[in-house]
Amino acid sequence: MKKTTALAAVLAVALMFSACANSKKPDTSKRSKEKTSTTTEATNEDPEETEETEESEESNENKKEPNLFGNPDLENPVRDYFYYSKDIDVSWVTEDFSFYGLLDWIMYYPMVSGSEVTAEFNINPDAAHGSEIKLFIFEHNDDYAWNTDDAYTKFTGDACNTVNGNVYWCKGMLPTGMKSGVYTLVVTHMDGTVDCMYDFDIVETAEEAEGGEAVMKPVIYLYPEESTEVSVGVDFDGTIDCTYPKYDPETGWRVVADPDGHLYNIEDGRDYDYLFWDGTTVKDLDSFNNAICVRGCDTAKFLEGYLEAAGLNDSEIDDFVSFWLPMMEKNEYNLISFPTEEYEEMAKLNVSPAPDTTIRVYMVFAGVDEMIDVPSEQQLVYPENVTRDGFTVVEWGGSMVDYNG
């Protein structure tokens, strides 16, 4: 019951963006003045210096200037290609979001045409925002002027929802046969006002990309017995793609945790309910050696029962189910396993001070069209006698995979 993973190398897909506060549209008047000044100065110099200056100017003119969306070469997509619009004072979405694509349940970078793509935007608490946004994907061009009729794909209506009041969650499909090249994601308000934009690559076939298995939304909760400064690090056998709040690879997260689970992040001075990360790995977690097959319509009830047995409280169960259920209940059946030991080997959690109780739940599932008869020796075994004593750390996450029998 093994799935064939893609290539052995992995690149980040779901991105954490450090955006510019203002659009990077070039100030052409400033460049024009600078050029005029340079030319004037050159006339007062000797011929050799003038010749060198002209050559330098010619070289600079041949360089592609960044437009409103930046240089389309995409040499550094993490930092340089997310832009707030000049049409608004404060963006509805923050500079941190996840954007990734899955093709046959495998995450590829760059994204592949025909992929199912997901975008998760954190809502900006400082913006006077409405309840909905729209997303459009266009082919990138230097003289960018967008028309929604020209979009390759759209995320509107039910495709964009607000989750837990603080995240815009959008899902859609890329058309098949998109040519390899640079494309632009445009986020708009319902009235069409542009909120922000992002440039990224798409390739036509999976052979042009590299892939791995998506480790989706592990979130970490901390419950000390009294308010305590806690450091949290993740030693992950793969690539960490996105974190919130921002994760320092050297020091990890540093927070002050309260007994009720409230977290104050020392780095940015903001409050959080949990620590979030996700990533990509080439490790196989889908052997289904300890599995159960559940009807899609029965998935919520099953998850509630299993997670309660695993030691999660009602709030954590709500977070888990609300994230995974939209991907699972639409399937005829779900083949589900919880390879916790394998996950703990792949993603080691380092917490200081050391917790008294650690509960880590990692689910792997595959949507299938018919009931899978799991042999008795491979059937899922529920956790037993899980208690939460003293300083307790809870983490959950998961992966969607393709079942090949």
Q: How far is CA 182 from CA 1, 101, 171, 302, 389, in A?
A: 37, 15, 20, 43, 52
**What is the pLDDT at residue 317?**
97
pLDDT in tens, 3-31: 333 323 332 333 333 332 233 333 333 33
Instruction: Tell me the residue type at 298.
Output: D
Q: Are strands 253-257 and 271-272 parallel, antiparallel or unpaired?
A: unpaired
Residue 166 backbone zone (phi > 0: left; psi -120 to 50: alpha; other: beta): alpha
Q: What is the largest CA-CA distance in the chain?
A: 90
Mean pLDDT of 385-404: 91
Q: 82-208: which CATH topology?
A: Immunoglobulin-like (2.60.40)
**What is the pLDDT at residue 129?**
65
pLDDT in tens, 323-343: 999 999 999 999 999 998 889
Residues 247 and 255: their CA atoms lie apart, in Å, by 11
pLDDT in tens, 215-268: 888 999 999 999 999 999 999 888 888 899 999 988 999 999 999 999 999 999
Q: Are strands 167-173 and 160-163 parallel, antiparallel or unpaired?
A: antiparallel
Mean pLDDT of 196-205: 85
Q: Please, which residues have CB within 8 angstroms of residue 111's CB and are 6 or more apart in sequence?
A: 13, 100, 101, 117, 174, 200, 201, 202, 203, 209
pLDDT in tens, 83-128: 777 777 888 887 667 787 888 767 777 889 999 888 888 888 887 6
Tokens representing 404 are 């090949």
**What is the pLDDT at residue 145?**
55
**What is the pLDDT at residue 227?**
97
Q: Domain limits of the chain?
A: 28-62, 82-208, 212-400
Residues 314 and 317: their CA atoms lie apart, in Å, by 5
CA-nearest of 137, 111, 136 to 203 is: 111
**What is the pLDDT at residue 146?**
62
**What is the pLDDT at residue 354?**
97
Q: Please, which residues have CB within 8 angstroms of residue 200's CB and are 6 or more apart in sequence?
A: 74, 77, 81, 99, 110, 111, 182, 183, 184, 185
Residues 253 and 246: their CA atoms lie apart, in Å, by 8
Cα within 13 Å of Cα(43), Cβ side = 5
Mean pLDDT of 305-320: 96
**What is the pLDDT at residue 240?**
85
Mean pLDDT of the chain: 77
User: Is this model's pTM higher than 0.85 or not?
Assistant: no
